[in-house]
Amino acid sequence: MTVTWEELGWERVAAGVGRCRLPGWDCTAGLVVGAGAVLMIDAGSSLAEGALLRARAEKLTGGRVTHLALTHPHFDHVLGAAAFAGAEVFGAVGVDTVPAEELRADAVRNGLDATAAEEAADALVRPRHLVCGEWTLDLGGGRQVLLANIGPGHTAHDLVVVVPGPPPTVFCGDLVEESGEPQAGPDAVPARWPAALDRLLELGGEDARYVPGHGAVVDAAFVRAQRDALAARFGVSH
Ligand SMILES: [Zn+2]
């Protein structure tokens, strides 16, 4: 009897590629399976959520999560990182400068249990590999993924993951949101956001499946419309 991705809590997006929508903030975590290597994209909002993701990934793949890519320094995407012991952690250059205290306080403001937030902030794992431009990661078995620092936009440190297809899959972090308006907080760089989405569309192309940080998988037309809406909202020409 074969257990499906769905039965283990994953939505399968393409061959060997999936994502999981976490409860609470509907934050997405992604998974790319290679040969002897497994990449997780984002880590959940707490140590418990990180541990849950790791267990689900290990159950599906039968191996350890060997790589972790963090799309941006917001609590719901990074506070679970310490649950991935031994994984090589990647982030956009500068992501390690955001204070753990800022992540903790933001988590509590957004409703995470105060003890869980403190535990996760104390244990916070910083990426060892900081990506300036693009980084090709070889996961074995002919599976190479591209980590691209295409920001700033949603934050000053936005990293996306492009998995070749067919069809290609693009993990967008919160540069794209489907379940609500893109969230532009005090750390957003609105003037540069539309250009980041232009680059995202260049990297993924017309046929890619775009996985937003929050919400359902979308297509290139959706990303383009969101790009235009952001440009109008923030008064960015071109
Ligand atoms: Zn975010």
Q: How many angstroms is it from 139 CA to the middle of ligand 1?
A: 26
- How many C-beta atoms surround the C-beta of residue 126 within 10 A? 16
Q: How many angstroms is it from 184 CA to the middle of ligand 1?
A: 8
Distance CA 63, CA 36 (A): 7
Say if CB 66 and CB 40 are below 8 A apart.
no
Q: How many angstroms is it from 74 CA to the middle of ligand 1?
A: 5
Q: How many angstroms is it from 142 CA to the middle of ligand 1?
A: 31
Q: How many angstroms is it from 45 CA to the middle of ligand 1?
A: 11
Q: Over the range 82-109, which residues count as b (16 or more CB within 10 Å of their CB) and which as e?
A: bbbeebbbbbbbbbbebebeebbebbbe
Distance CA 106, CA 144 (A): 34
Q: How many angstroms is it from 179 CA to the middle of ligand 1?
A: 13
Tens of pLDDT along the chain (238 residues) come to: 577 899 999 999 999 999 999 998 999 999 999 999 999 999 999 999 999 999 999 999 999 999 999 999 999 999 999 999 999 999 999 999 999 999 999 999 999 999 999 999 999 999 999 999 999 999 999 999 999 999 999 999 999 999 999 999 999 999 999 998 899 999 999 999 999 999 999 999 999 999 999 999 999 999 999 999 999 999 887 5
CA separation (Å) from 44 to 12, 193, 231?
18, 24, 29
CA separation (Å) from 142 to 46, 161, 197?
33, 16, 28
pTM over 0.85: yes
Q: How many angstroms is it from 141 CA to the middle of ligand 1?
A: 32
Amino acid at 122: D
pLDDT for residue 238: 58
CA separation (Å) from 159 to 38, 106, 224?
18, 20, 18
Q: Identify the burial level of 192 via C-beta atoms within 10 angstroms of its C-beta, where 0-12 means exposed, 13-18 middle and 19 or more buried.
A: middle
Q: How many angstroms is it from 1 CA to the middle of ligand 1?
A: 39
pLDDT for residue 175: 98
Q: How many angstroms is it from 86 CA to the middle of ligand 1?
A: 25
Q: How many angstroms is it from 176 CA to the middle of ligand 1?
A: 10
pLDDT for residue 129: 97
Say if CB 33 and CB 16 are below 8 A apart.
yes
Say if CB 212 and CB 172 are below 8 A apart.
yes
- Residues lining ion ligand 1 (Cβ < 5 A) are 74, 174
Say if CB 54 and CB 24 are below 8 A apart.
no
Q: Identify the burial level of 12 via C-beta atoms within 10 angstroms of its C-beta, where 0-12 means exposed, 13-18 middle and 19 or more buried.
A: middle
Q: How many angstroms is it from 77 CA to the middle of ligand 1?
A: 7
Q: How many angstroms is it from 174 CA to the middle of ligand 1?
A: 5
